[in-house]
Amino acid sequence: MKKVIIIIVGIVIVGATYGFYLYNKKTPSLVNTSPDFTISAETLYSEFSTNENEALQIYEGKVIQVEGEILSISQSDSISNIVLNADGALFGGVNCSFKNLKSSFQKNDNVTVKGRCQGYLNSVVLNNCVIVK
């Protein structure tokens, strides 16, 4: 019976240690990562709104460099978002999330952003983004 308890405690300790590691694991920056695709925000949004499943097979999890016009900028304590405009989009075309956005961009500025595509929820979602220019 003691061996079973020791094994269970060992499994719990290993699981807790691994969970702690994953919780504190840093996401690697995309600054020095080459994009898998370079595309305009308009074209990217159009591909997702036309055929979401096909676009997901192509772009999901890939690093995408997107150029477009800023529709809105929002910031909280830990995350900043820039939404790039796309015609026909209800709430903007491409939603780009940043951990640390230290930039003086304004609405209607053109910007190039690189991020990892996470999917489509009324707009294309790019996470872990960095400004290219």
pLDDT, tens only, 43-58: 999 899 889 899 999 9
Question: Which of 101, 58, 61, 104 lies closest to 78 in space, CA to CA?
Answer: 101
Write down the pTM of the prediction. 0.74
Give the CATH superfamily of 37-131: Nucleic acid-binding proteins (2.40.50.140)
Question: Which of 49, 42, 46, 97 lies closest to 67 in space, CA to CA?
Answer: 42
pLDDT, tens only, 43-96: 999 899 889 899 999 999 999 999 999 888 888 777 888 889 888 777 778 998
* Domain spans, the chain: 37-131
Token pair belonging to 104: 């003086």
